[in-house]
Structure 1
Amino acid sequence: MSTWRPIRRTPAWLAWMPGWLRTSMKWLLWTGVIGGTLGLMVALFYFSKASRFDLAEVAKMPAHTAIYDRNGKEMGSGGPNSRRLITRADIPNFLVNALRAREDARFFEHSGVDVRGLARAAVENVKRGGMAQGASTLSMQLARNTFEIREKSINRKLLEIALTLRLESRYSKDEILANYLNRIYFGAGCHGIEQAARTYFGKQTSQLNEAESAMLVGIIRGPHIFSPFRNLDAAREQQSQTLARMKAMGLINDADVARVKAMPIKLVPQEQRGAERSYALEAIQKELQTILDDVDIRDGGLTVRSTLDAGWQTRLETDLSESLRNIEQSKGWEYPTHEKHQQGAEPQYLQCAAVTLETKTGAILALVGGRDYLDSRYDRTIGARRDLGSAFSPWVAAAAAERGRLVLPGKPVQTGRQIGPKETIRIAKRCGITGPFLETEDLFRGSAAATPLELATGLATLGNAGQRPKPYLIQSITAPDGKVLYTAAPSTTPAIGKQAAKEAADLLDKESGTRVQAGATGSGRDAWLARLGPKGSTAIWVGFDDPQRIAPAKQLDSVLDDLAQRLGN
């Protein structure tokens, strides 16, 4: 049998190579073919995944944040609902250059993916053994923020790159720039550059000066910790770093840096920052901003489940308004409507504040910060610090009982003398009432000040067997995809003994299962109603913003009794 085969001749262009080199070249060639094939397959796979995303979402207004009460009733919207979209024409050129310098120097040159930056980041990540750097361009950040691609992994980065290339083929650079600034989070509940400009500086994006532009760009990397409202010094430092990068790129010179740094930063005053429709919604928004900062939540379209009971909130507001009108009618006073205020009338009129806490948890069931939110955004539940008068007597009793002394019902001075003012003050502070206090026997007659929120907390402490609850307004925060981002963890602090709390609570008049303490201060300038129900602890204050006598004690007591009966039914 013949085994003859034709002799394969080595091509002339390879004949000069030694055998080992020809073998190496062959392996390199096959490796390149296989690698290229695998690379093409990977690219096709990720472009296929990327094709499932709707690029029209990039230019859409992100969903607003909806706020609900504890029973699922929608109460309003959070700050992101006030977002406004801007276009490239609205963005100052200085802000664009600042953004390039700080976030993406080659934005107008690359095709969405900065290959040089990726290479540098890859080397650094290999050195550190993880995904420490991502070399994300503005386009990549826009893709990530739009489609919520968050986890740090090679899979996420490859999908992000594929999405970015699609995005760059769909939108112009100016559109990408505007959409990026419309979406990113700037702290203080601000989603998008327009809301940030209005919230921080009270102006439109197109009106931002160079100092404000550099500061807003500077806080992008840490919107929570660098928010000017939270830490102006840190925001100024980020502004300086942005200007330094601009100078290093040759976009500005030393004189420009000095000039911009010398510009004053005028933030919107605290009392003008709220844009809600009620005291309760504004309080929720403030707590929401704190949680977003602390938990580092930057998403929009959130669902916020509050602790409020919308039914009780409405009832408290209605009954308070009716009781105050009764006082005004008996005195011949006319309550000035919002329209009259708009016409320039600024008379004094009776104000009020009320808080109801869920006794065992501290969850706020209702919050009324004043008579009319449209006329005054000042939240008196935390700002009206007034003498308690006879409403302080339960804590005189609590201090005496805590030290094993006799509690003499109806005799707070005699009860307090057994332990003295200092010990009474110490116990009151443990229950959440912070004063100031008069360190004489007048303390036992009610010369101790508190806010309505503090009084409600003190009441809840008595009703919760001496455990002081921490008040809170937000139960949970949920992302648009249903993922729970935050859940409140109610907390209590031991304040006084169980028996002392019971004896103090028993001093409150009992009627229909509810304990009530009502009365005015000796000056007649403040009236308080303390109500400790089976589940909730309510503190109500009535008075004038500029203290003055309200009404004779007997007349005021009858109004407070009427209010107590309304709330008890």
Structure 2
Amino acid sequence: MVWGRKKKRGGRKEPVFGGVAASLAELRLNPLDRITVADDKPASRAAPRKAAGPGGDGSRERKPSQNRKGRKGRARKRTRGRLSRLFYWGAVLALWGGIAIVGVVVYVGAHLPPIQSLEIPKRPPTIKIVGADGSVLATRGEMAGSNVSLKDLPPYLPKAFIAIEDRRFYSHYGVDPIGILRAAVTNVLHMGVSQGGSTLTQQLAKNLFLTQERTLERKLQEVELALWLERKHTKAQILELYLNRVYFGSGAYGVEAAAQKYFGKPAKDVTLAEAAMLAGLVKSPSRLAPNRNPEGAEARAKVVLAAMADAHFITEQQARAATTRPSYAVKPVGAGTINYVADWVGEVLDDLVGQVDQNIVVETTIDPKLQSVAEAALIDELAAKSVKFNVSQGALVAMTPDGAIRAMVGGRNYGDSQFNRAVMAKRQPGSAFKPFVYLTAIEAGLTPETIRQDAPLDIKGWRPENYGHEYFGAVTLTQALAMSLNTVAVRLGLEVGPVNVVRTAHRLGITSKLEPNASIALGTSEVSPLELVGAYAPFANGGYAANPHIVDRIRTVDGNKLLYARAQAAPGRVIDPRSVAMMNTMMEQTLISGTARKAGIPGWTAAGKTGTSQDFRDAWFVGYTAKLVTGVWLGNDDNSPTRKATGGGLPVEVWTRFMRTAHEGMQPEPIPGTQRGGPLPDIAQLGRQVIAPAPAAPASVGGPPQPVRANVRPEAASGLDGWLVDRLFGGR
């Protein structure tokens, strides 16, 4: 059985193309027939396959020379591409860099005053401080000499500055790129800032218009201003401005002021060695000032001379001659106490004339001779006895009874410490405050002969004691003040009221805050030496207010304008004449038979009061005549205790040495009120009934002190023996 159709005869025949190998060969593509697409792959990665050739597979290889040429061509193309990209990005960076520079210049310029409005500023004002005799005491402010022109200076003087500061001064336009590069290389080699690249013009721009801060913005402002100066002024003008404005240390601005300061001669007369020293100061005026560091100044001057020789400004022989024979007539810096006076004058000027914008002369009340005597008295005594008594500092103020300050010493050495202890130090006055307590009592109706009890007392647990731990029973106020008996002073303070004592002290001139408590009678509230001495002045002048002052007149240098003159208004009375007389008779006894027996001026009546604070931290003596009121304080700045330094010791010795010299050649005058009184009872009479310490009795706070019963022991008829006198009067 047949399931399909029969095959047709003569069916379809497929074409035959020969052998199989031939057919494959004809259909295979040759590499040259391929369509190639350029890519970025390296030639090594796209090596053509071998073409089929007659030798087997029919492949055909390229010649080596053809391969090398292809590679070189492609390398050249790649190089050209890289260069074009480098040029492109370089141009982009340069464009943005230029934009950034323009932006910085605009920003810096925006923070400068308008260039067209800039002017060379005036010289800073000079303040000349003169004494009562017209002599110059000190110069404050920025000491500037007169302007000098280049033609008036020796040629080697400006050349010294050019040689050491700006060798290419005449060839740059305000900024020296070569100098900056050289300084940068030098600083890198030395691994630090050893050389600067600022030109003289840049330094002048900084000195005239800018601050001394070290910031990038300030440096860029300096560059802009230097370019402006070079455009506006000639090289000679810039150099002349520079020499007249540069700072030379010790307050001296300009070559004229520096020459006068360091050599005592005008700038036109300085020698080559001196010119080199001045040029060398510019690098570090404070460190190299010859009055502070003569060795450093001389070494720097030798460097300048070598630079001048290297620049052919001077010969080698001239440099050697100036180096071997320097002529520095420089006085070493002193620690003169007149600087305390000058500093205080500078502080009060603002209150008297406001801001100083011109050169002025300040006429003071200071007596230069008395200032020298005061300085020597204080410093010499401290030099001799400071170690023994552990006293490191002191102060002295001397003024006339109307408040004109004649001498002021604010410390032992101004060079070591500029703190003016005479004006600014607040210390406990101790018993030197007691006159205000006794004056309050006198004004309340008591007299120098009034009797009060010297006996132990207890005030809510506080038990004040006398210096020698001795008690004398019934004593007069004169005796109690002369011997500085603490218990009597406290009793009087409570009797009249601490508030009234404070009011009395303020009325006489104390300006510090005082605490109105029981201990105020012993001087526990702090005051300055200046205000304490000023508060004693009414006792010396008959009871009138004394305003301590140091400035009489202020005028311009040429004298054409008077800026200030002290008013001569009549002072107001602060103590009535009767009370003044009684207080002076009592305080006179302090020098005659009391704690200041070592004090005294031959032929003169003097009075005063000693003071010693708790734990011997402060030692005072304030004494006066009809011509002069002087106070002395000794102690330590850290308020540490001394070795029992008392007001009757070192302060009295300093006061006596000063006052005796100050009164030489003057006609003696009595203190107001004392010439009318008769002789007071000698304190030795009290020795016949010296009272031994007795048990403490409670004090009657708010009422009169109660008498204390004590045992009495007799003494020799001749008075107190030496041992007892030392015990009683060696302290307060």
Q: 1:114 aligns with which of 164, 167, 176?
A: 176
Q: 1:379 aligns with which of 372, 379, 382?
A: 372
Q: 2:279 aligns with which of 217, 223, 232?
A: 217
- Residue of structure 1 equivalent to 2:98: 36
Q: Determine whether 1:198 maps to 2:198.
A: no
The answer (yes or no) to whether the contact 1:117–1:135 under 8 Å persists in 2 is yes
Q: What aligned pairs does 1:231-310 form with structure 2 within 5 A after superposition?
A: 231-261=293-323, 262-267=325-330, 283-285=340-342, 304-306=346-348
Q: What aligned pairs does 1:486-505 form with structure 2 within 5 A after superposition?
A: none
The answer (yes or no) to whether the contact 2:144–2:254 under 8 Å persists in 1 is no
The answer (yes or no) to whether the contact 1:387–1:521 under 8 Å persists in 2 is no
Q: What aligned pairs does 1:49-198 form with structure 2 within 5 A after superposition?
A: 49-50=111-112, 52-53=114-115, 57-58=119-120, 60-64=121-125, 78-80=140-142, 82-122=144-184, 134-198=196-260
DSSP-derived class of the 1:149 partner = coil
The answer (yes or no) to whether the contact 2:183–2:195 under 8 Å persists in 1 is yes
AA matched with 1:265: Y
DSSP-derived class of the 1:538 partner = strand
The answer (yes or no) to whether the contact 1:284–1:306 under 8 Å persists in 2 is no
Question: Structure 2: any 5+ residue segments left out of the alignment?
Answer: 1-75, 130-136, 353-362, 397-405, 433-462, 469-479, 490-500, 506-534, 540-586, 592-597, 609-620, 633-654, 676-732
Q: Determine whether 1:531 maps to 2:592.
A: no
C-alpha distance in 1, partners of 2:660/2:370?
A: 17
Which is richer in helix?
Answer: 1
DSSP-derived class of the 2:252 partner = coil
The answer (yes or no) to whether the contact 1:57–1:146 under 8 Å persists in 2 is no
Q: Determine whether 1:429 maps to 2:429.
A: no
- Residue of structure 2 equivalent to 1:464: none
C-alpha distance in 2, partners of 1:156/1:496?
A: 55
Q: Which has the larger radius of gyration?
A: 2
1:77, distance to aligned residue in structure 2 (A): 7.2
The answer (yes or no) to whether the contact 1:427–1:496 under 8 Å persists in 2 is no
Q: Tell me the TM-score normalized by structure 2.
A: 0.42
Change in Cα spacing, 1:214 to 1:38, as seen in structure 2 (3 Å) is: same
Of the structure 1 ranges 522-531 and 215-224, higher mean CA displacement relative to structure 2 is found in: 522-531
C-alpha distance in 2, partners of 1:382/1:423?
A: 16
C-alpha distance in 2, partners of 1:36/1:208?
A: 49
Q: Tell me the TM-score normalized by structure 1.
A: 0.53
Change in Cα spacing, 1:125 to 1:223, as seen in structure 2 (3 Å) is: closer
Change in Cα spacing, 1:128 to 1:501, as seen in structure 2 (3 Å) is: farther
The answer (yes or no) to whether the contact 2:605–2:671 under 8 Å persists in 1 is no
The answer (yes or no) to whether the contact 1:524–1:549 under 8 Å persists in 2 is no
Residue by residue over 1:436-478, the C-alpha shift from the partner in whole angstroms, topping out at 9 and shown as x without a partner, is: xxxxxxxxxxxxxxx9767x879xxxxxxxxxx9851899xxx
How many residues align? The count is 384
C-alpha distance in 2, partners of 1:473/1:89?
A: 49
The answer (yes or no) to whether the contact 1:531–1:537 under 8 Å persists in 2 is yes
Question: Structure 1: any 5+ residue segments left out of the alignment?
Answer: 1-13, 69-74, 289-302, 311-365, 389-394, 396-421, 435-450, 459-468, 476-489, 563-569
Residue by residue over 1:255-296, the C-alpha shift from the partner in whole angstroms, topping out at 9 and shown as x without a partner, is: 21232131422247989x99xxxx96x6444x69xxxxxxxx
AA matched with 2:123: P
1:98, distance to aligned residue in structure 2 (A): 1.0
1:179, distance to aligned residue in structure 2 (A): 1.0
C-alpha distance in 2, partners of 1:526/1:503?
A: 29
C-alpha distance in 2, partners of 1:24/1:381?
A: 82
Change in Cα spacing, 1:268 to 1:37, as seen in structure 2 (3 Å) is: same
1:381, distance to aligned residue in structure 2 (A): 3.0
The answer (yes or no) to whether the contact 2:205–2:229 under 8 Å persists in 1 is yes
The answer (yes or no) to whether the contact 1:92–1:206 under 8 Å persists in 2 is yes
The answer (yes or no) to whether the contact 2:247–2:285 under 8 Å persists in 1 is yes
- Residue of structure 1 equivalent to 2:659: 542
1:208, distance to aligned residue in structure 2 (A): 1.5
C-alpha distance in 1, partners of 2:191/2:175?
A: 23
Change in Cα spacing, 1:125 to 1:244, as seen in structure 2 (3 Å) is: closer
Q: Determine whether 1:472 maps to 2:472.
A: no
